[in-house]
């Protein structure tokens, strides 16, 4: 953990799932006007963005183009979920330590004939303005696991999860790892 002071992510209790974890991410509508090619994550119109998702065994990894926050592809439907993080389901933070904001997107993955899952995907914008995936931060192990809140502190991601079947809540912690080329758990579970 970089920085000084007490890590507020370690003080998350288990009494309630919705704990108001979002920490200082400005709403998407406070972004500056977007140039022809975005140079920063905050300049991307994420509700109309085109990007590749990292594959999981539960949601495929197509190149998708969101239109009004939704995208369809053969076999899947993705929607930008606006219930976590900022008011628009988007959280900005430097996740990789390069000094540039990256983006956490909350997406609902709907498979035909299957239950909808919520995934948290991390995206970056390179110096040339291209959107590229950093990786998937959360894909539920079972459909009943739903993220209820998330926060980022010095690049560490705290994700509050509710099992809607049992009512049990817990927090998982992730951090970017350059050697792993993705996000790793740092909570020891």
Mean pLDDT over 100-105 rounds to: 92
For 57-73, the pLDDT digits (tens) are 566 656 666 766 767 66
Which phi and psi (to 5°) does residue 30 adopt? -90, 5
Assess whether pLDDT exceeds 70 at residue 141.
yes
Mean pLDDT over 19-41 rounds to: 49
Query: How far is CA 10 from its chain centroid?
Result: 19
Q: Which two tokens stand for residue 167?
A: 């009512």
pLDDT on residue 127:
82
Read off the DSSP letter of residue 67. B
Strands, DSSP E only, in 61-181?
A: 63-65, 70-73, 76-80, 90-93, 102-110, 117-125, 131-138, 145-153, 156-163, 169-177
Mean pLDDT over 28-45 rounds to: 61
Q: Is the pTM of this model over 0.75?
A: no
pLDDT on residue 32:
44
Whole-angstrom Cα distance, residue 144 to residue 161? 10
Other CB atoms within 10 A of residue 188 CB? 5
For 73-100, the pLDDT digits (tens) are 655 666 777 666 555 578 999 999 999 9
Alpha helices (H) along 13-151: none
pLDDT on residue 139:
84
Decide if 60 contacts 72 (C-beta within 8 A): no
Decide if 28 contacts 90 (C-beta within 8 A): yes
């Amino acid at each position: 953990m970089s920085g000084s002071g007490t890590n507020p992510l370690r003080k998350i209790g288990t009494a309630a799932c919705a704990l108001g974890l979002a920490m200082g991410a400005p709403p998407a509508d406070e972004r500056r006007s977007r140039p022809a090619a975005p140079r920063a994550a905050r300049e991307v119109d994420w509700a109309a963005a085109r990007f590749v998702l990292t594959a999981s065994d539960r949601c495929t990894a197509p190149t998708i183009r969101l239109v009004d926050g939704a995208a369809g592809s053969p076999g899947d439907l993705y929607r930008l979920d606006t219930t976590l993080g900022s008011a628009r389901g988007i959280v900005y933070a430097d996740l990789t330590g390069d000094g540039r904001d990256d983006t956490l997107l909350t997406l609902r993955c709907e498979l035909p004939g299957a239950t909808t899952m919520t995934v948290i995907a991390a995206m970056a914008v390179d110096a040339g303005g291209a959107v590229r995936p950093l990786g998937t931060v959360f894909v539920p192990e079972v459909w009943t696991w739903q993220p209820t809140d998330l926060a980022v502190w010095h690049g560490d991601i705290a994700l509050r999860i509710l099992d809607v079947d049992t009512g049990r809540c817990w927090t998982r912690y992730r951090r970017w790892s350059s050697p792993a080329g993705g996000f790793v758990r740092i909570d020891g579970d």
